[in-house]
Amino acid sequence: MATVYLHIGLPKTGSTTIQVFTCDNREVFEKFGICYPLFDYSYEMVSFRRNGHFLFAPYVNEDGKLDRTRPAAEYEEGLNKLEEISKQYDKILLTDEGLWWGSHTRENFWEQLKEDMNKRGLDVRIIVYLRRQDSWIESHWAQNIRDGRTCLTMHDYLDYMKDRGYPLDYYAYISKFAEIFGKDHLHIKILERGQFKGAEHTLQSDFLDIFGLSLSDGFRVKQDVYNAKFEGNYLEIKRLMNLLPELRTRKHIVFDGITKLDLKNPAKRDYSMYSFFAPEDRKVFREQFEESNRRLAVEFLGREDGILFYDPPKDLPELTINEGDLLRDSILLYGKIFDIIQKQNEAAKEQLAGQEGNQTARQLALKHTVYHMVDKRMTEHERVISQMFQQVLDKQLRSIRDMKAELKAEQKKNIQEMKKELRDEQKQLIKNLKKELREELKADLQKNTKETKALQSDLKALREDVLFYRLKRKIRHIKGSDQ
């Protein structure tokens, strides 16, 4: 019986790194009898490397709506392909981090999957990577902001995930896998460098250890960064922009602007020493999973100390957004967007000029042909055909010129609108700053007035005391008793 190794996440535990690594080394894996199949199924916003996505992808109705309670139309076909692959390979590797949670919409998903695999002669082993819950949810929140999936603050996001029932109680959730597939069919890995196996102590070497392999067996590792994150002010700017649906997509110029500016902003702070949690909130959030993590460490990993995560938590101060820095970075972002638009305009102009030049060359070539045909006394029918070609080319040339004019007008309009929005935003910010300054000055003035009145009262009392003693001394002098 062939074995399907099913890597199910969690999200934000290096899944993309694993998928790129396995995809780049498909031929090496095959030498060791492990097949990492790539299917011709396509899903929106899902990489082709996530070859296990068809297992829980929703059914698409005739009206285009998704029915997440039913398997996709390609589900059975995909399983049949696995059965065919098993005739050549003893081990098959499927991966999709969405399986950790995406499978919850189908009743008895895992039981049914095991049954469907077994009847095709396929055994199933589960690979899961775990990350300390507080670190995981910070990373998950930041990625969902970057990808336009949420505009919630960190505090509200915690409540949202709790209401959804997202499975961060690792012991309870993994116990269900143990009941279905057997404890000996679970590969539970921890996303900490100190717990990575293999000589290199990397995520890739740790993943290969599952199959009894090592990087020295001919595997290649790319040093690229995947799923680069937004930080600090740019994360906050993107979160606010997610309030507008049209700005959420990663294809929007705003995303491109933030990505480029975040990498080259000379005024960028070091955000590695800050947290999205307040220290006391992080502690409370972490404590609710301590017992679950302890039981998982003892019962599934055989650790008598009951410690699941060895890296100590970093109780860093909570990140606060400075309004002045946020204004500066907002202006820089607008400037970067203008720069991107300007470069796109220049590229479009060059492309149009090239098209117009090519069209002109074709037109001249046709005229030369026409003149040559005239010299040879072409027939009336030939003249009609040549005139038709000439009219078509003239029409195409006019169309290109019109498109160029429309593009220039639209670009000019867009730039004017963005400049106006920037001016309006600057005016509003200046107005708000002036208002805050006036209020602060007014408060200081009131405070100074009170202090001045108090000083004046003290001075008056002092003067009265001095006058009293002077009069008393004068009286004593008059009486002759001041000797």
> Is residue 256 domain-resident?
no
Give the residues across from 125 on adjacent strands: 5
Q: Which helix (H) or strand (E) holds 174?
A: helix 170-181
Residue 223, pLDDT > 70, answer: yes
pLDDT at 480: 72
Same domain, 199 and 67: yes
| Within-domain flag for 365 | yes
According to the model, what pLDDT value does residue 351 have? 80
Residue 272 — pLDDT band, cuts 50, 70, 90?
Answer: confident
39 domain-assigned = yes
pTM beyond cutoff 0.85: no
- Please tell me which residue, 7 or 354, carries the higher pLDDT value: 7
Among 162, 121, 115, 169, which residue's Cα sits nearest to residue 141?
162
Residue 204 domain flag: yes
- pLDDT value for 229: 76
pLDDT, position 75: 96
In the chain, % of residues over pLDDT 70: 89
- Please enumerate in sequence order all residues whose Cβ is within 8 A of that of 263, keeping only pairs 6 or more positions apart, or say none: 228
3-state secondary structure of 379: coil
Q: Which of 122-126, 224-228, 272-276, 385-389 has the lowest mean pLDDT?
A: 385-389
Count of residues in the chain: 483
Q: Any idea what the CATH number is for the domain that residue 211 is in?
A: 3.40.50
Do 214 and 344 belong together in one domain?
A: no
Does residue 203 share a domain with residue 348? no
- Nearest-5° angle of CA 281, CA 148, CA 40? 120
**Average pLDDT, stretch 278-285?**
89
What is the structure's pLDDT at 212?
97
Residues 218 and 74 in one domain: yes
- Helix, strand or coil, per DSSP, at residue 186: strand
Please report, rounded to a whole number, the percentage of residues in the chain having pLDDT higher than 90. 46
Question: What per-residue confidence (pLDDT) applies to 226?
Answer: 62
CA pair distance 480, 482, nearest whole angstrom? 6
Give CA–CA dist 190/174, Å, rounded: 13
pLDDT, position 374: 45
Task: Give the integer Cα–Cα distance in Å for 54 and 116.
Answer: 14
Closest CA to 113 of 135, 90, 85, 94: 94
- Spell out the long-range contacts of 310-315 with Cβ–Cβ below 8 A and sequence spacing 24 or more: 310/192, 310/194, 310/195, 311/132, 311/192, 311/194, 313/132, 313/134, 313/135, 313/282, 313/286, 314/275, 315/275, 315/279, 315/282, 315/283
Q: What is the pLDDT of residue 324?
A: 85
Token pair for residue 249?
Answer: 């997509």
> When comparing pLDDT for 4 and 242, which is higher?
4
Give tens-digit pLDDT for 339-380.
888 888 888 878 877 776 666 666 666 555 545 544 444 455
Please tell me the predicted confidence (pLDDT) of residue 356.
62
Measured between alpha carbons, how far is 99 from 446 in angstroms, rounded to an integer? Answer: 62
Contact 91, 2 (CB under 8 A): yes
Q: State pLDDT tens for residues 388-418.
A: 656 666 666 677 777 778 877 887 887 888 7
What is the arithmetic mean of pLDDT over 237-266? 81
- For residue 403, is it within any domain? yes
Mean pLDDT confidence for 274-300: 93
**pLDDT higher for 175 or 316?**
175
197 and 60 belong to one structural domain: yes
* pLDDT tens digits, one per residue of 291-319: 999 999 999 999 999 999 999 988 888 88
Q: Of residues 66 and 451, which shows the higher confidence score? A: 66
Q: Specify the amino acid at residue 232.
A: G
139-166 mean pLDDT: 91
Q: Is the pLDDT of residue 460 over 60?
A: yes
Q: Are residues 81 and 207 in the same domain?
A: yes
- pLDDT at residue 375 in the model: 45
Q: Is the confidence at residue 201, as pLDDT, over 90?
A: yes
Classify residue 254: in a domain, yes or no.
no
Which residues on adjacent β-strands are paired with residue 92? 4, 35
User: Residue 462's Cα: distance from chain center in Å?
Assistant: 69
Q: Count of CB atoms within 10 A of residue 86's CB?
A: 21
Both tokens assigned to 326: 């946020």
| Contacts within 8 Å (CB) and 24+ apart, 267-272 | 267/325, 267/328, 267/329, 267/332, 268/231, 268/232, 269/232, 269/325, 271/231, 271/232, 271/319
Q: Is residue 111 part of a domain?
A: yes
Q: Average pLDDT, whole number, for the chain?
A: 85
Q: pLDDT confidence of 215, banded at 50, 70, 90?
A: very high
- Segments forming the whole domain that contains residue 62: 1-130+192-224
Look at the chain and report how many structural domains it folds into: 2
